[in-house]
Structure 1
């Protein structure tokens, strides 16, 4: 930074130590221009709170807290809004926060994203101005809102599509490889991805949240017409339709 005549803003500088598996946490400190920067358990970067275990629990708590505050304020003016106006306002202020950088939560356990699901359900009830414990599945379906877990999968698969097409950043493209069968098969044209080999339960559990593992698994499970979409807008439309039918199946007649 000194070489390029840049000055580090020490008031906004944070340091997080990410220990390896089995490594104890260490209180590290570095000195820059006679100022000491100590390590912290969490740090905020581009609106995302990172923790030293990469569990994103602190980020989920922060998003949940800010969304609850917004819902509280919208609830105060809800009597003056139509259902459509309330939907637009909540989608712009609340749902957009749930979607921001949500691909970082890919592979997270259901218990971890549960607070975000509760926020989404509270938002759906507020759109229709319904009581606290009203059933929300039909509400989410009528609003065309995918569940939080599906929204995370949607964002991850969009990144996978861009990686397959070569429009994603190079580090993402390097994480996915096209599947090449050992002999000519009709499946060679289905645009499948090669799944990385995992061995041992320990390795499988530690790598299950990696993009290089989840993206091929989720990608190969898609219908062929979704994987072979000609453009990104078509892929997004077909993918949302697929996930919507998966999570909101038609009720039996």
Structure 2
């Protein structure tokens, strides 16, 4: 930073140490640290490109925040749903909530099933609002009419899509270097 004549803004600088409680406790003696005459300490959670990362890397805080945001939009859609046709309601639901369910969802690949179930409840609630289904109707009926994959399969689909694009275009190189196409055992 000194060579580039940059100044550190301690109020805007954040960093996080990710690990177990015992791993993080081993580093407690190193903080606060001083960088360019500014005191900085690790934050318990940081946000990067709309994703909240916490110290234990379990995404619980991120899921809580996003589910709260999703339900806010679902309540708004529920209030005005009667004024729209099915196709318009489906488009609005996709724009407001479903597209956000897919944003960075590949990070949630090995997240606990109970946390993925929270996102599935969001999708189920959204589907009921769009289809104007009764509260206790079986889930399979209204989800089939929307052609929406369950959240777990959306995550897998996203990872497969990214992997396929990386293999096909050889871009980005850092990702392409970690992948190798499957070989047919009969060759």
Task: Bin the TM-score by the shorter chain.
Answer: 0.7 to 0.9
**Does the alignment pair 1:94 with 2:104?**
no
The question of whether the paired residues in 1 share the 8 Å contact of 2:8 and 2:36 is answered with: no
Q: Which residue of 1 aligns with 2:128?
A: 125
Secondary structure of 1:3's counterpart equals: coil
Q: Which has the higher contact order (CA 8 A, sep 6+)?
A: 2
Aligned to 1:16, the other structure's residue is in SS state coil
Give 1:12's aligned residue: 12
1:1-253 matches, within 5 Å, as 1-19=1-19, 23-25=23-25, 26-27=27-28, 28-179=31-182, 185-186=185-186, 188=187
Contact 2:20 2:56 in 1 (8 A): no
Between Structure 1 and Structure 2, how many residues are aligned? 184
Q: Normalising by the residue count of structure 2, what TM-score does the alignment of the two structures yield?
A: 0.86
The offset of 1:102, in angstroms, is: 0.3
Match of 1:215 in 2: none
CA distance in 2: counterparts of 1:63 and 1:150, whole angstroms: 19
> Is the contact made by 2:32 and 2:39 (CA closer than 8 Å) also made in structure 1?
yes
**Structure 2: where are the runs of 5+ without partners?**
none
Deviations 1:184-240 (A, max 9, x none): x42x4xxxxxxxxxxxxxxxxxxxxxxxxxxxxxxxxxxxxxxxxxxxxxxxxxxxx
Q: Tell me how far apart the structure 1 counterparts of residues 182 and 74 of structure 2 sit (CA, whole Å).
A: 45
Structure 1 alignment gaps of length 5 or more: 189-253
Kept in 1, the 8 Å contact 2:89–2:130? The answer is yes
Runs of 4+ aligned structure 1 residues displaced above 6 Å come to none
Q: Give the Å deviation of 1:134.
A: 2.3
SS of residue paired to 1:79: helix
Take 1:5 and 1:134, find their aligned partners in 2: how far apart are those partners?
A: 63
TM-score where L is the length of structure 1: 0.65
Distance 2:37 2:5 in 1: 18
Secondary structure of 1:43's partner? strand
Secondary structure of the residue that 1:145 maps to in structure 2? coil
For 1:140 and 1:8, locate their aligned partners in 2 and report how far apart those are by CA, in whole Å: 51
